[in-house]
């Protein structure tokens, strides 16, 4: 089986390539070989004739996307349209990684796949546009909304906190935004299931349980044996440092995926422990 992974050098891409390359022929697409915005990626992939496509490449800097709108739109919308064109022409399944940021966060309970998207920031808008292109053009798709990713191969909150913790006595972290931290290793294990169980649709997939960024930071410091004090602050006091609005509650309900695939996601604190101890 020939599998294309776009964004193969990114944080999730790295783990997915590691999971799949032993058993399958993997073709990695990333900015160093192809820009998914350009049509030549379509011609190349049509010639390669993959059996399955994972589309992970994206403009992922949520704050920068507010200013750099043209590029964010081109990558997340036009680039996605190019990848969808390949899947439609070859009639092969597509997995698209979307985000909790398609929701506005006003709900107080976890979001299900039936809840109405209403993005608060431009990044969320472009990812939602990508979802719409897929549902309009394809039948064989998996749209996976996930959140708060951390993994070995990329910048993430865990690395930021562990690095600050070595230099600072205290760190301020917001305690009024809730989500589910998700280890890219665990997400890659779940994504692999789509190769064999073709139950197409929209799925929310994160590590189990939820927390605030403050809880998450405290756990990172505790598990890494640090002494830095984490100080809770409110998002309004942190606003000046961030261009993009974030949802207050972006916890995603995993139950549809767990039920249909008969699988239980590990909890986020177990995932964090494994990540920090290099297991």
Ligand X SMILES: NC(=O)c1ccc[n+]([C@@H]2O[C@H](COP(=O)([O-])OP(=O)(O)OC[C@H]3O[C@@H](n4cnc5c(N)ncnc54)[C@H](OP(=O)(O)O)[C@@H]3O)[C@@H](O)[C@H]2O)c1
CA distance 209 to 201: 23
**Which residues, in sequence order, are CB contacts of 160 under 8 Å at separation 6+?**
none
Measured from the CB of residue 169, what is the shortest distance to ligand X in angstroms? 28
Number of residues that bind ligand X (CB under 6 A): 27
Among the listed ranges 3-11, 81-89, 213-221, 239-247, the one in contact with ligand X (CB under 6 A) is: 3-11
Rg value, the chain, Cα:
18
Measured from the CB of residue 275, what is the shortest distance to ligand X in angstroms? 14
123 is catalytic: yes
Q: Which of residues 93-122 bind ligand X (CB under 6 A)?
A: 97, 99
Number of continuous H segments (helices) and E segments (strands) in the chain:
12, 12
Q: Which of residues 129-188 bind ligand X (CB under 6 A)?
A: 146-149, 154
Measured from the CB of residue 155, what is the shortest distance to ligand X in angstroms? 8
Residue 60 binding ligand X, by CB under 6 A: yes
3-state SS assignment for residue 226: coil
Residue 35 binding ligand X, by CB under 6 A: yes
Residue 266 binding ligand X, by CB under 6 A: no
Q: Which residues of 179-212 are buried (b: 16+ CB within 10 A; e: fewer)?
A: bbbbbbbbbbbbbebbbeeeebebbbbbbbebbb
Check: CB of residue 176 under 8 Å from CB of residue 233: no
Q: Which residues make up the interface to ligand X (CB under 6 A)?
A: 7, 9-13, 30-31, 34-37, 56-60, 75, 79, 97, 99, 127, 146-149, 154
User: Hey, which residues are catalytic here?
Assistant: 123
């Amino acid at each position: 089986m020939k599998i294309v992974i776009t964004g193969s050098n990114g944080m999730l891409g790295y783990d997915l390539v590691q999971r799949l390359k032993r058993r399958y022929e993997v073709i990695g697409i990333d900015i160093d070989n192809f820009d998914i915005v350009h049509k030549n990626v379509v011609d190349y992939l049509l010639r390669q004739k993959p059996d399955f496509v994972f589309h992970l490449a994206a403009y992922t800097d949520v704050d920068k996307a507010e200013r750099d709108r043209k590029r964010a739109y081109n990558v997340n919308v036009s680039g996605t349209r190019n990848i969808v064109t390949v899947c439609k022409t070859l009639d092969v399944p597509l997995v698209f990684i979307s985000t909790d940021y398609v929701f506005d966060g006003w709900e107080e309970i976890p979001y299900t796949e039936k809840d109405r998207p209403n993005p608060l920031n431009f990044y969320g808008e472009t990812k939602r546009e990508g979802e719409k292109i897929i549902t309009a053009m394809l039948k064989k798709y998996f749209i996976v909304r996930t959140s708060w990713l951390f993994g070995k191969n990329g910048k993430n909150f865990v690395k930021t906190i562990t690095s600050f913790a070595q230099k600072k006595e205290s760190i301020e972290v917001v305690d009024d935004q809730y989500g589910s931290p998700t280890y890219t290793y665990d997400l890659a294990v779940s994504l692999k299931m789509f190769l064999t169980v073709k139950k197409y649709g929209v799925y929310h997939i994160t590590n189990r349980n939820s927390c605030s960024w403050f809880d998450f930071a405290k756990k990172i410091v505790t598990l890494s044996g640090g002494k830095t004090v984490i100080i809770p602050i409110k998002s309004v006091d942190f606003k000046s440092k961030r261009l993009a609005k974030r949802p207050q509650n972006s916890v995603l309900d995993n139950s549809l995926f767990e039920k249909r695939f008969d699988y239980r996601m590990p909890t986020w604190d177990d995932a964090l422990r494994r990540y920090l101890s290099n297991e």
